[in-house]
Amino acid sequence: MKPPAFDYIAADSIAMAVAALAAAGDDAKIIAGGQSLVPMLNFRMLRPSILVDINRIAGLDVIEETSGAIRIGALTRHYQLETSPLISRHLPVLSCAMTHVAHLAIRNRGTIGGSLAHADPAAELPMMALLLDAELRVASGSGERTVTARDFFLGALTVDLASSEIITGIVLPKLPPRTGWGFEEVARRHGDFALTAVAATLTVSGGAIEQARIALTGVGATPLRAAEAESLLVGHALERDLVSRAIDAVRATIEPETDLHASSDYRRHLAGVLTGRALAAAWRRANESAA
């Protein structure tokens, strides 16, 4: 179908965008890459009175390095993130995850701010924000605020973002030294939304795990961190028995939905298998970098 009628404004600054949002009340939508929004318009699942286009705001698509972190502007395209040398040096797990986000033509247009604001329960970027302890920067007419990824995702397609607010960027702490990573996804076809995906980082010290992070997508309304599995890994070397217990902990904490593409049981099965693979890859890389 075709989108319903709406008015359109191309903002050239954050200030202009938030002013337009405030003036429209609850009835405006931001359009960035449009890769999730335009299908919803075409299906008429959304009928905004006005679209505020942020594509022409200069400087909103910058990836920059600070001493301990990487700051990524909200308008950064998925393909930019996938191919960024800064990201591959400091957050290689994110470079890998981005190759699984949809298809080249979608990655060329889709933006990280859009993906986070849309919060599809099977998308990769929200899960990576959660894994990497991201902070989101949010602006509105009344100023700026910071929200952690842990607090941002509230439900399927539901986030802590008011209709007057806009995500301006995210800040991701660099991976610590002696850290390895793993990313594993199963989708029906390369580039489709994940049936289930698991990402992990392990930081090792003296042959034992010092910090473990495990995040999952596709197994709930929001991306999840596997806190129990993470804590039982700390202080130990990654041995087969420990992996089994981490897998059991992951499977026990999730309640995946059944849909057309996969049953709840299959998703739970995948979550375990992929956790094992992601941990093994993270352990191997961590020991390589510590050697």
Partner 1 sequence: MSKSCEINVTVNGTTHRAAVEPRLLLTDFLRHTLGMTGTHVGCEHGVCGACTVLIDGDSARACLMLAVQADGRNIETVESLGRIGQMNALQESFHEHHALQCGFCTPGMLMTTTDLLRKYPLATDDDIRKGLSGNLCRCTGYEHIVKAIRAVVGKGHERP
Q: Helices in 62-169 by DSSP H: which ranges? A: 78-83, 85-90, 92-98, 104-107, 112-118, 124-131, 149-152
**Closest separation between CB of residue 180 and partner 1, Å?**
24
154 to 74, 98, 117, 149, 252: CA distances (angstroms)? 20, 23, 11, 10, 21
The residue among 108 and 253 lying less far from partner 1, judged by its C-beta, is: 108
Residue 139 and residue 88: Cα distance in Å, rounded?
28
Rounded least distance, CB 103 to partner 1, Å: 3
Judged by CB, which is closer to partner 1: 3, or 92? 3
Which residues here bind partner 1, judged by CB under 8 A? 1-8, 10, 31, 34-35, 38-39, 41-43, 51, 53, 55, 79, 99, 102-106, 108-109, 189-191
| Minimum CB distance to partner 1 smaller for 41 or for 281 | 41
Please say whether the beta carbons of 30 and 21 come within 8 A: yes
Q: Which is nearer to partner 1, 193 or 283 (CB)?
A: 193
Distance CA 181, CA 203 (A): 9
Toward partner 1, which CB reaches closer, 104 or 252? 104
Residue with Cβ nearer partner 1 (4 or 235): 4
For the chain, the helix, strand and coil percentages under 3-state DSSP, each to the nearest 5: 40, 25, 35
C-alpha closest to that of 242 among 251, 253, 255, 230: 230
Q: Which residues pair with 197 in a beta bridge?
A: 185, 217
Q: How far is the CB of 95 from partner 1 (least distance, A)?
A: 15
C-alpha to C-alpha distances, 179 to 192, 207, 275, 281, 290, nearest whole angstrom: 29, 12, 17, 11, 8
Minimum distance of partner 1 from residue 33's CB (angstroms): 8
Q: How far is the CB of 5 from partner 1 (least distance, A)?
A: 5
CB of 171 to partner 1, least distance (A): 26
